[in-house]
Structure 1
Amino acid sequence: MRGTETSSWMKQLTSSSRQGRHGHVLHLFFTRLCLQPSIRGTVDPYPTAVPTALRACAHLAEAASGRLIHALVLTRPALARDQVVATALLDMYAKCGLIASARKVFDEMPARDLVVWNALLAGYARHGLPEHALALAVKMRGRGLSPDLVTWNAAVSGFAMASDDRMADDLVGAMQEDGFQPDVVTWTSLVSGSVLNFQYGRARALFRQMVAGGACVLPSSATLSSVLPAFGTVGDIKHGKEVHGYAIVTGVERELTVGSALVDMYAKSGLVHEARYLFDRMSERSTVTWNSMIFGLANSGHCQEAVGLFDRMPREGAKPDHLTFTALLTACSYGGMVEVGKALYRGMREEYGIEPRLEHYACMVHLLGRAGMLDEAYDFIKAMPVEPDCFVWGALLGACRSHGNVELAELAASRVRTVEPGSAAGYVLLSGALASAGQQHDVFKIKRLVKRRRLKRLDGCSWLEMS
């Protein structure tokens, strides 16, 4: 590879990386280094090219490509000894969730600076191993390295995501004692951890403390997109609109993550017209944005509009995922669009290569059962390649209640009790089916049984009761 040609290739690689075109980075890398016979095995890639390609793997969660690059590194002694390359390898494995591989790279490094320790520590925190992160921080200090703000933030984030609020708060106190003040990353980690664990009240309180409590830290777009899901109910929408106003004032409303979070918040609050207005104004939309809008339309009764929106996705370059089809099948169920739902279910696998999950099976049973096609719904369950869960059987049981099929309801209820023996959901839905059939005496018997056994209502199945 001539010098000018190499220089041009590196410029393309670097430019694509800066623009976030990570797939193109990998295409350039493997095309030049692996697919051209004239250079295969004879030319070492520039040391800066390998870390760039590894960062692309990390962004795309392309562990398989990352392993290929690792194999290439191992054949080049100069690259294998390069500290920057080793750090990029460790970070790639950590961000792809391959923590054991990241630790192996870490252990084999002859020298480790603070960046290396922080990369592994962040990997532990990100993937639900906060105790490992904290132990690594202690070990780091024992080796004479003082934690910096990145170290502290990674540890705080790990415990916040693990819903260990006390430990997260204690670490914030410890970092202050160590001379570091919480920054926007610290606050965002605490807020997003609370939202992730459905502690919406705590998330809102933390955000208010950050904005008005003397923290002297301005929320970033990441903070706003993290906290907005905490306002996704009718009762909290007023404060959600205040956050929206803050996003407008600070100029981040049209950033992809913030815009998507706003669409999701308004859609979940039932303000579907506001959600659609924002959706239509967005210059860029992710799959998450499309899913939020389709779910919002479906749950608000705009079922045909939800399916119509899906038809736009391929034309605008959006790639549907499993949640997209959950939203679509929900829309078809609520809208009574049985044939459309069947076609979408087939297309999910045949056109998009998405294998059905249990939630898709439950949606199909709900679709068929809601339309009164109980026998077909039961046949669908029997043909499932996986064991049905409580949501699948609960969907059939709810349909039996609506259509008064006591015999099939009793069968479905027995299956619900088998997979969720501590839940009252099966009994509750069965009592509804018996009540619809006029068997009030049996209803009272079931209610006494639930009370005597002190069974708990499975809240997650409540949507299945809708007729």
Structure 2
Amino acid sequence: MHTLLRITTPLRIPTKNAIFNHRFLRSEPESYAKLIEIYTHDRALHQGKKLHALLTTNGYARFNLIASNLVALYTCCGQLSLARKLFDKIPQTNVRRWIALIGTCARCGFYDHALAVFSEMQTLHGQNPNNVFVIPSVLKACGHVCDRVYGEQVHCLILKCSFEIDAFVSSGLIVMYSKCGKVEDARKVFDGMCMKDLVSLNAVVSGYAQQGLPNEALGLVENMKLMGGNPNVVTWNALISGFAQKCDRVMVSKIFRLMIEDGVEPDVVSWTSVISGFVQNFRNDEAFDTFKQMLHHGFCPTSATISALLPACATAARVRFGKEIHGYALVIGVEEDVYVRSALVDMYAKCGFISEARTLFYKIPDKNTVTMNSMIFGYANHGYYEEAIELFNRMEMEGVTKLDHLTFTAALTACSHVGDIELGQRLFKIMQEKYSIEPRLEHYACMVDLLGRAGKLEEAYGIIKTMPVKPDLFVWGALLAACRNHGHVELAEVAAKHLSELEPESAGNRLLLSSLYADAGKWGKVEQIKRRIKKGKLRKLQGLSWIDNI
């Protein structure tokens, strides 16, 4: 066992037998450090704690290498308070502790925490040459939280310390600017690189694709080819993804052809990118056709393919197709993947099959934010309001899964449907004060709907007037519907006026106002609206029964 633990290939030890294996370990810190890394990879918190207790007993927990690895273990398992307690026991001069905490936080999704720890590091050590080891992780965190201002400050630090010559740092800058929507700044960083490699090229191409600029990405790739660069499959797949998101079938076909001419064979990621692009643009029939073509060409779908296709079933309420894909996922062995199960939970919940969604939900061992949000939305939209709020409270109390803006949208939707004004207002408040989430249009629409359903129309209108952003059709639509239900003609006219500006070709809002006038006995107003609809040739959206699709 001693010999095995000293080899460079990572050792796989079944975590359930880990305590039994401890007795065979020799008394060397490197062996224990390797075992902690295995536990970190497997997120085996329980076994990691037992090993930590053993190391505390024999005194090895004081070794900086072991302590840093334990910090990474606890951070990866979401135990930030324990990680911080260990972190503070390591001498401040030790660089490894900073790398362990900041790097693991950025890798495991605790981006705000990573930035906070880096700020602390800067305060204590200033412009330390060892910053180069943590800066790629810091840039990653900036990109994920879209904190461009902080990212630019880090960029200044990079220039002061001459870290820009490091390929990992430059690539981190490119990714950060791309995720923050500043793809032109990412291009400037790329153009300023002395040695342009494929990693940095792919980062810029992906940035262009994500920002809806695939033609610029293609131009860059063509220029790099003229300079002797050889795009790889990642480069071509980024281009395919960019054009697929724009639903440009002609260019997608062209990229496939250029890819093959360049000696690079399309892979399953290439096909998955096309499927994902169609689904995002609600062209579900084309997504299903592409999936069939993919199978015809002999490619086996991955978990990413299945999770990309399932939303097409949820959007069109085609539960039969969803069940077929679910069965196929079982056959190819990807059904237990967390992203596939999350997509299945979302699909069944949106189609109204709450029992199936709940069963799959509780089978997921490590639930992420997306999974929790899908289940809360499913509960809220289908009358299970108490279950929705209970799951939200559990999510908040456990603190393992991060609450985001969609979590609060789902919880506020539940409050709106059940009419719990007090809870809704409390959630709206703590969202801003406790979780620092700025309210979005959907949050304001939920609050207007919540107050409107309860007949507090003036309060609902007051929220609209104090909004820092321009109200959209969902906000005004919620107010108009509430006015219709409670017979408030004056506010209904205000809402209808704004809706006519936002949707000048829609007759639906005018018909709703007309119904309100009819209830109030204002038949002259009803006749005026009908004449306007007829004269303006406004469209009425046709109803569609899901029964035909199911």
Distance 1:66 1:326 in 2: 28
Does the 8 Å contact 2:115/2:138 carry over to 1?
A: yes
Distance 2:338 2:396 in 1: 19
- Paired residue secondary structure (1:232): helix
Does the 8 Å contact 2:349/2:378 carry over to 1?
A: yes
| Alignment match, 1:225 | 307
Change in Cα spacing, 1:48 to 1:402, as seen in structure 2 (3 Å) is closer
- Alignment of 1:16 with 2:104, yes or no, is yes
| Alignment match, 2:243 | 159
Aligned residue identity for 1:452: K
Matches within 5 A, 1:35-114: 35-37=123-125, 40-41=126-127, 44-45=129-130, 50-51=135-136, 54-55=139-140, 57-58=142-143, 61=146, 63=148, 66-77=151-162, 79-114=163-198
Change in Cα spacing, 1:320 to 1:47, as seen in structure 2 (3 Å) is closer
- Alignment of 1:115 with 2:193, yes or no, is no
Distance 1:403 1:299 in 2: 22
Post-superposition Cα deviations, 1:47-87, rounded to whole Å, max 9, x if no partner, equal 6555455455555655555445433432334x433344333
Distance 2:194 2:413 in 1: 55
| Alignment match, 2:472 | 389
- Paired residue secondary structure (1:313): helix
Post-superposition Cα deviations, 1:271-291, rounded to whole Å, max 9, x if no partner, equal 111111111221122222222
Matches within 5 A, 1:347-426: 347-426=430-509
- Paired residue secondary structure (1:45): helix
- Alignment of 1:310 with 2:392, yes or no, is yes
Deviation at 1:36, TM superposition (A): 3.8
Aligned residue identity for 1:73: I
Distance 1:185 1:146 in 2: 19
- Paired residue secondary structure (1:136): helix
- Paired residue secondary structure (1:270): coil
Deviation at 1:301, TM superposition (A): 1.1
Aligned residue identity for 2:394: R
Distance 2:256 2:318 in 1: 28
- Paired residue secondary structure (1:388): coil
- 268, 275, 284: which one pairs with 2:350? 268
Does the 8 Å contact 1:368/1:374 carry over to 2?
A: yes
- Alignment of 1:138 with 2:226, yes or no, is no
Matches within 5 A, 1:24-43: 34-37=122-125, 40-41=126-127
- Alignment of 1:259 with 2:337, yes or no, is no
Identical positions, percent: 48
Distance 2:134 2:435 in 1: 33
Name structure 2 gaps, 5 residues minimum.
Answer: 1-63, 66-92, 543-550
Distance 2:448 2:133 in 1: 53
Distance 1:112 1:457 in 2: 55
Change in Cα spacing, 1:279 to 1:426, as seen in structure 2 (3 Å) is same
Distance 2:377 2:197 in 1: 47
| Alignment match, 1:191 | 275
Deviation at 1:312, TM superposition (A): 0.8
- 296, 319, 324: which one pairs with 1:242? 324
Of 368-377 and 196-205, deviating more is: 368-377
Does the 8 Å contact 2:106/2:137 carry over to 1?
A: no
Post-superposition Cα deviations, 1:279-318, rounded to whole Å, max 9, x if no partner, equal 1221122222222111111111112221222111112223
Distance 1:94 1:309 in 2: 35
Change in Cα spacing, 1:17 to 1:250, as seen in structure 2 (3 Å) is farther
Change in Cα spacing, 1:115 to 1:407, as seen in structure 2 (3 Å) is closer
Does the 8 Å contact 1:130/1:159 carry over to 2?
A: yes
TM-score by length of 2: 0.73
Deviation at 1:133, TM superposition (A): 0.2
Distance 2:467 2:98 in 1: 51
Deviation at 1:17, TM superposition (A): 7.9
Deviation at 1:116, TM superposition (A): 2.7
